[in-house]
A and B are shown apart, each in its own frame.
Chain A
Amino acid sequence: MQIYLPIADLPVNIFVILAIGLAVGFISGMFGIGGGFLMTPLLIFLGVTPAVAVASVTGHIAASSMSGAASYWRRNAVDVALVFMLLAGGLVGTVVGVWLFTLLRSLGHLDLTIGLSYVVLLCVVGALMVTESLRAIIRSRQGKPVELRRPGSHTWFHGLPFKVRFKRSRIYVSAIPVWAIGFIIGFVGAVMGIGGGFLLVPMLIYLLRVPTATVIGTSMVLTLVTMASATVLHAVTNHLVDALLALLLMVGGVIGAQFGARAGARISGEWLRLLLGLLVLAVGIRFALNLVLTPDELYFLRPLEGGQ
């Protein structure tokens, strides 16, 4: 069944969009990430222009984060203090990111920068997650206890000042790395058009030692706040949010996220991290191939604003 998308100016098969929403929603519910880094390339592949894709996906991510966040909230698995602390850094990061985005666009290197940052970021994060989780799996196979929080293994920034106690997560860390993580997420989100959940979850686990119990709920609430505001910002600044596309993606996404969350609860933490690492790595390699392989067409077209 075909439906015409009003802002994307494109007819699409309604079931294809619902299926994409469902699949990405499943993954986002399973790993507690927004899934923007998967959804945006998929929509571009369907023929939606990158700008409309990035703008509309924010709505979908907000919806699937909301559905996940509500479940975690009821289970009291959200660290509100940590969310606020991360948001403080995230706000500054977003402003700096938007500034860089505008600068790069005026220099004409935005596409290449986005492509390269996807490759570097996804490959590095994916490879790190795969090696770490494999090590954890091997360790547990050998009968040694799986221990994510190694009490003695304090890193250098545990010595930093402005220590804050996050009661819900039972961690006592300096506010500086928390702000820094928030800043990076906000910055990356603005430049690359992604929620940054796949970065946030490992950073919270490995750097701040946030326990698995609260990490996903906390990440989802943060994603929810940033993506809901990004939807409004995108709508106001460039009028490119396709509400119909967003609604279709949301409906598929929230249902998928529920099933994903249940599937995720049945898999042990290190296997979950291995799967997510492989997925992130695969998308990163796909982007790398895009940059290296000879394209079908050496020329391509892009409509400019203000053509009348």
Chain B
Amino acid sequence: MRSRLATLGVALAALALATPAAAERVIASVSNHRVQVSSSFTGEELVLFGSIEHTPNDPERRGGYDLIATVSGPRQNLETFRRDRVLGIWVNVDSRVFDNVPAYLAVLANRPLDMITNGETLRRLQLGLANVVLLQRAAVTIADSSLDDPFRLNFLKLRQKQQLYREATNGITFLTPTLYRATIPLPAESPTGDYEVDVRLFADGAPIARTTSAFEVYKTGIEQVVTSAARDHSFVYGLTTAMMALLTGWLASIVFRRD
């Protein structure tokens, strides 16, 4: 842990020294900052777009620019179970809690991450699903387990299967050498809350600029009314649901009455 902190310190210092040399700026925005979840919500696609600003004084970038955008949703605690056969039946034998991990995570780039920069930089900046830090809790200890831990790998696999985590290395398109566009796919199961978009600009394998944007996914209309009633007025809500059930049943018996 200490050596990791030291590496981080050195890296940060290097970054601080390196940044002033490059004057490029990256600008980013999303097409919709407030995504509404109504009763007809079946998912949505947001457009992330922006440009790279540079001046004639900037050093010449022979390799062109590269972008990696990370979209992370609200934080969540998720328990991961491992099943195994005990006496012929499948039982949960082991579990880990992933603490405060993003409920939604999308990594978008204009080409494969390992072609943009080296593995060391990707790990340091936590870019890509393989490098993102996911804190695990087993019983009482909290630890950031190694990147090839089976719980971590299966966690990422399951989240990708649910389409809540994704990595698209062709997700960002350059319309001109300095103008880009990307699509952020939000599946219907996307949790409500605040989402952050972190866009990093690379040139010749080095991170040279960064910007952030944000959007919010929130419930509206009847969805919002039901959710807040269930939470804030639970007794009245429960009573109403029960009365609704009795009324529905009684009405049906009247409507279908044969005698």
Chain A interface (Cβ within 8 Å of chain B)? 2-4, 6-7, 9-11, 59-60, 62-71, 74, 108, 111-112, 116, 224, 227-229, 231-236, 239, 241-244, 246-247, 250-251, 254-255, 257-258, 291-295, 297-308
Contacts and interface: CB of A to CB of B under 8 A. Distances in A.
B93 to A, nearest CB: 10
Contacts of A234: 238
Given A66-B248, A258-B252, 19 more contacts: A4-B38, A4-B40, A11-B189, A62-B249, A66-B245, A69-B249, A71-B253, A116-B89, A227-B245, A232-B242, A235-B235, A235-B238, A243-B237, A292-B89, A300-B83, A301-B78, A301-B80, A303-B79, A307-B103
Given A67-B253, A303-B77, A7 B230 contact: yes
Contacts of A66: 245-246, 248-250, 253
B241 A243 contact: yes
Nearest 4 pairs between A and B by C-beta?
A: A66-B249, A235-B238, A307-B77, A254-B252
Given A62-B249, A298-B83, A247 B89 contact: no
A297 B150 CA distance: 13
A303 B101 CA distance: 11
B78 A299 contact: no
Contacts of B248: 63, 66-67, 247, 250-251, 254
Interface string B66-103: 00000000111111111111001111100101001001
B32 interface: no
Contacts of A68: 249, 253
Contact of B234 (A64, A235, A293, A299): A235
A232 B238 contact: yes
Contacts of A299: 80-83, 151, 154-155, 157-158
B227 A6 contact: yes
Nearest to A62: B245
Contact of A254 (B85, B234, B237, B249): B249
Nearest to A308: B75
A87 to B, nearest CB: 16
A303 B259 CA distance: 51
25 contacts: A6-B227, A11-B42, A11-B43, A62-B249, A65-B249, A67-B249, A67-B250, A228-B242, A231-B241, A235-B239, A235-B241, A239-B231, A243-B241, A250-B249, A254-B248, A254-B249, A292-B89, A297-B158, A299-B83, A300-B80, A300-B158, A301-B158, A303-B78, A304-B79, A307-B75
Interface centre among B38, B76, B89, B91 (most CB of A within 10 A): B89
Contact of A236 (B80, B234, B245): B234
A258 to B, nearest CB: 4
